[in-house]
Amino acid sequence: MKIVTSLAICLLGASSLFGTTLVEKAKNSGLEAIPADKTKLMKMIDDKNDPITKEKVELGKKLYFDPRLSRSGLISCNTCHNLALGGADGVPAAIGHGWTANPHHLNSPTVYNSVFFKAQFWDGRSPHLADQAQGPVQAGPEMAAPPALVEQRINSIPEYVNEFKTAYGKDVKVDFAKITATIATFEKTLVTPSRFDKFLSGDEKALTKEEKEGLNTFIDKGCTACHSGIALGGTMQPFQVASQYKFTNVGDFKGDANGMVKTPTLRNITETAPYFHNGQIWSLNEAVKEMGSVQLGINISDEDSAKIVTFLKSLKGDKPQIIYPQLPESTMETEKPTFN
C-alpha cells in the first residue's frame, strides 16, 4: 500500500513538474495569456485619449451590424466578420458590393482578438483598429460607401445623433472618423479567453495531457517563431521562407513592399476555415503541414500535425455575449441605397 501511495505521489509530482516546465517553456517562447483580471485587460486594450465606455460600445455594436454603412444598404461589418462564425465569413475570398469577390482573392480575417494585433489587414497597412475600420467601408469591392455618404446617413437619423451625444458629449462632430472609431471601440471588446490562458496563468489542469503534448510539439517545431504574443499571431512576418506555398498563384497578393504578411491569429482557429490569405486550405491538419513546409522547411508528420491540432483546439475561447441590436429607423432624409 505504501509503495502504491508513493508511486502515485511521484507521478503527481512529475505531472506537476511537467506542467510548470511547459508553462515556462511556453512563456519563454513568447506566448502570453489574456489577463483574467478585467482591470489588467482594460489597461491593455483601452485608449486614454478615447476611453472605452458602455455607451460607446453599445453604439459601436449598432454601427457594426448596420448595413446602411454600405452603399447598397445590404452589407455590414458583420457580413464578412460574422460574430456567429468565429468573426469571419467562411468563404475563401470576401464577397462585397455587387456580389464582387475580393479582386486579390483575399480571405476575411477574424475580428475576434484583433485588438491584440500589431498590424491590421494582410499587408499590415493599418496600425490599429480605428484606422482599419475606415478601409472596408470605403473600398469599392467591399461596402463601397464614400465617407460623405456614411456621414449623411448617420446624421439623418436622430436616434443615432442622440446616441453620439450621449457617448461623446453634446458638441460631438459625427463625422466619418468618429463613426469608424466607435466601431473600433466595440471591436476592442471582442476578446475570447480560453483554457489555454488559464494554463499559462498557472492552472495545470486547464489543458489535457494530449493538449499539453500538442503545445510542446507546437513549440518544438518552431511554430512560435511567427505565432506568438497574446494573439498567437497578428505581427508582420516574411512568408514563403523555406519553400513556395502551393496555392501562391491564387490571387495576386504578395504581401507588403518588403514581402511581409500579417500572421493570422490562431485563437478560435477551428472556427475560421478556410485558411491562408487566399483561403485555399480547409483542413487544419493540412494547414499545419503546409506551414511546416513553407515557413519552417520541415516535414510535419501526420502524427505531429494531429498533436498540434489537438493543442490548437484548446484556443477556442469564450465569446462575449452579443445581443443583436435593434437599429434606429431611417428618415425621409436618409440617402437611399444604390447598387451601381
Catalytic residue among 142, 151, 187, 213: 142
> Is the CB of residue 340 less than 8 Å from the CB of residue 250?
no
Annotated binding site: 77, 80-81, 97, 223, 226-227, 291
Predicted TM-score (pTM) of the model is: 0.92
> What are the extents of the domains in the chain?
26-39+192-313, 42-188
Tell me whether domains 26-39+192-313 and 42-188 share a fold: yes
Q: Are 271 and 116 in contact (CB under 8 A)?
A: no
Nearest to 308 by CA among 286, 287, 288: 288
The rounded distance, in Å, linking the Cα atoms of 187 and 57 is 8
Q: Is 333 a catalytic residue?
A: no
Residue numbering of the annotated binding site for heme c: 77, 80-81, 97, 223, 226-227, 291
CA proximity to 63, closest of 229, 187, 173, 206: 187
- Say which CATH superfamily domain 26-39+192-313 falls into: Cytochrome c-like domain (1.10.760.10)
Helices vs strands, H then E, count in the chain: 13, 4
The tens-digit pLDDT sequence of the chain (340 residues) is 333 333 333 333 344 444 459 999 999 999 999 999 999 999 999 999 999 999 999 999 999 999 999 999 999 999 999 999 999 999 999 999 999 999 999 999 999 999 999 999 999 999 889 999 999 999 999 999 999 999 999 999 999 999 999 999 999 999 999 999 999 999 999 999 999 999 999 999 999 999 999 999 999 999 999 999 999 999 999 999 999 999 999 999 999 999 999 999 999 999 999 999 999 999 999 999 999 999 999 999 999 999 999 999 999 999 999 999 999 999 999 999 999 8
**What is the fold of 42-188?**
Cytochrome Bc1 Complex; Chain D, domain 2 (1.10.760)
Does residue 106 contact residue 93 with C-beta atoms inside 8 Å? yes
Q: How many CA atoms lie within 13 A of 234 on its CB side?
A: 21
